[in-house]
């Protein structure tokens, strides 16, 4: 992976809307990123996360300043009404993503200008231009845009850890995958409890308890309920349908055993991948994003972001026998945390038994179970202290 591509993937991309009012400048950070300065404060997504109340309201006379290709992708709903200036970390990658989302449709008035960091003057816009900076709300501030893949078999052998559904004897054999928004962390206890209650056991101090700890004691069916409830609450189109309904209130009790009266109906759940609601990743999506995306080019790590497990995972040698708060280890190349270790993550599966991915903190788990290729089957009604989940959304141009 080229350095600039990795830098693009690893940053939380942000977008700012500026209205003529007060000064807005940009400075270069030590790692050569363009950091907006407003009222003597650095506006950067890593340090100033978006809040629910800070949503963008379109203004006809406003200027959109997007940093990185992902920032541009999130501006599809306002691009026709505004002028857009893109500050690109990786110029070619910016253009590549813009082609995927149709330049002619988004920018019919040619109101797009792309400049690279190297072309960035000491202050941008010019010092005598007045602006007010305001955050543009991404689909979710904790979500990373992951470009899909449409690649054929490669004739060059791939270096690194290639035990995978994507490789055969070290050769990438080609695949096609949609664009995604992927949550950069496992669903936390606070996020889960906002929409759902635990069926039987609930998180305890023994295994890690707190708002920022990953949710566990959640079975596969519970995860579907969470996804649709959160989608409905946020005005998105739910992905899952059970008993011909997308409303979990119509689904009946969540199965908790193989003898449950509704088990057959819940096992027949369907997923609509063409809508914008929350859902579980497929095995291909999970493995692709755990490996860092980027069309699986370059060296492949064994764990999500490293060959050294302690850098990226809570597992049996370092966990102390419990979960840990999310995002406590190094992320992978996409900026995704805990895809190796902490809790196993449910994935979408249409079979009667389901798989969880990525290994966990448990003292009896072998380190190979934390690799980017490992999956372990579990009954969908089974909830336990080492399994949680992560949510994704299909990236749809709206």
**pLDDT tens for residues 247-270?**
999 999 999 999 999 999 999 999
- Among 138, 156, 181, residue at a domain's last position: 138
pLDDT at 78 over 70: no
pLDDT of residue 140: 41
- pLDDT reported for residue 86: 62
Whether 292 and 385 share a structural domain: yes
Pull the structure tokens for residue 379: 């009954």
Q: Which residues contact 115 (CB under 8 A, 6 or more apart)?
A: 85, 86, 87, 88
Tell me: the pLDDT tens digits for 325-363?
999 999 998 889 999 999 999 999 888 778 899 999 985
Same domain, 134 and 151: no
**Model confidence over 18-76: pLDDT tens digits?**
444 434 455 554 444 445 554 454 444 332 333 333 333 333 344 555 555 445 544 54
pLDDT at 308 over 70: yes
Looking at residue 296, its pLDDT comes to 87
180, pLDDT greater than 60: yes
Domain boundary among 88, 110, 138: 138
Same domain flag for 238 and 308? yes
Band of the pLDDT at 395, cuts 50, 70, 90?
A: confident
Statement to judge: residues 9 and 33 lie in one domain: yes
390 and 248 within one domain: yes
Rounded to the nearest integer, the mean pLDDT of the chain is: 75
Q: Are residues 199 and 301 in the same domain?
A: yes
Paired tokens of 83 = 């002028």
| Cβ count within 10 A of residue 307 | 13
pLDDT tens profile 113-126: 666 655 555 444 44
Residues 6+ apart with CB under 8 A from 121: none
Whether residue 170 sits in one domain with residue 260: yes
Residues 170 and 87 in one domain: no
Choose one of 138, 173, 189: the last residue of a domain.
138
Structure-model confidence comparison of residues 274 and 10, the more confident one: 274
Q: Backbone phi, then psi, for 363, in 5-degree steps? A: -65, -20
Does residue 304 or residue 84 have the better pLDDT?
A: 304
Domain count, the chain: 2
Over residues 214-236, mean pLDDT: 96
Tokens 């914008």: give the residue.
276
CB 340 within 8 A of CB 346: no
Residues 255 and 127 in one domain: no
CATH number for the domain harbouring residue 240: 3.90.1580.10
Local confidence band at 364 (pLDDT 50, 70, 90 cut-offs): low
Q: Is residue 213 domain-shared with residue 76, that is, in the same domain?
A: no
pTM > 0.75: yes or no: no
Same domain, 369 and 383: yes
Tokens at 355, concatenated: 């798989």
Share of the chain above pLDDT 90, in %: 46
Query: Are residues 339 and 228 part of one domain?
Result: yes
214-252 in b/e burial notation, b at 16+ Cβ within 10 A? bbbbbbbbbbbbbbbbbbbeeebebbbbbeeebebeebe
Find how far residue 157's CA is from the centre of its chain.
29
Quickly state the pLDDT bin for 134 (edges 50, 70, 90): very low
**φ, ψ at 42 (rounded to 5°):** -80, 120
The span from the CA of 129 to the CA of 68, in Å, is: 22
Domain of 259 in residue numbering reads as 143-398
């Amino acid at each position: 992976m080229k350095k600039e591509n990795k830098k693009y993937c690893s940053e939380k991309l942000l977008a700012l809307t500026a209205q003529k009012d007060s000064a807005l400048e940009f400075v270069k950070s030590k790692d050569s990123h363009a950091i907006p300065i407003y009222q003597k404060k650095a506006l950067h997504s890593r340090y100033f996360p978006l809040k629910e109340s800070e949503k963008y309201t379109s203004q006809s006379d406003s200027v959109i300043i997007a940093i990185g290709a992902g920032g541009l992708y999130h501006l599809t709903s306002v691009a026709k009404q505004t002028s857009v200036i893109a500050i690109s970390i990786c110029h070619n990658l910016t253009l590549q993503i813009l082609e995927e989302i149709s330049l002619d449709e988004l920018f019919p008035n040619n109101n797009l200008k792309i400049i690279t960091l190297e072309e960035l003057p000491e202050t941008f816009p010019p010092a005598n231009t007045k602006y007010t900076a305001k955050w543009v709300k991404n689909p979710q501030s904790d979500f990373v845009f992951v470009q899909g893949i449409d690649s054929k078999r490669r004739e060059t052998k791939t270096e690194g850890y290639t035990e995978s559904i994507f490789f055969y004897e070290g050769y990438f054999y080609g695949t096609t995958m949609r664009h995604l928004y992927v949550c950069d962390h496992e669903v936390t206890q606070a996020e889960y409890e906002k929409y759902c209650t635990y069926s039987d056991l609930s998180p305890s101090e023994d295994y890690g308890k707190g708002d920022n700890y990953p949710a566990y004691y959640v079975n596969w069916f519970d995860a579907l309920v969470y996804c649709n409830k959160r989608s409905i609450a946020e005005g998105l189109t739910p992905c899952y349908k059970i008993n011909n309904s997308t409303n979990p209130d119509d689904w009946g009790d969540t199965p908790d055993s193989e003898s449950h009266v509704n088990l057959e109906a819940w096992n027949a759940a369907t997923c609509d991948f063409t809508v914008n609601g929350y859902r579980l990743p497929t095995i291909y999506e999970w493995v692709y994003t755990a490996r860092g995306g980027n069309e699986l080019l370059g060296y492949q790590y064994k764990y999500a972001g490293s060959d050294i497990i302690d850098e990226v995972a809570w597992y049996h040698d370092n966990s102390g026998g419990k979960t840990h708060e999310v995002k406590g280890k190094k992320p992978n190349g996409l900026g995704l945390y805990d895809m190796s270790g902490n809790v196993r993550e449910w994935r979408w599966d249409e079979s009667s038994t389901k798989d969880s991915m990525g290994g966990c903190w448990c003292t009896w788990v072998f380190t190979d179970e934390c690799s980017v290729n490992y999956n372990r089957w579990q009954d969908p009604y089974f909830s336990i202290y080492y399994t949680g989940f992560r949510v994704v959304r299909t990236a749809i141009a709206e």
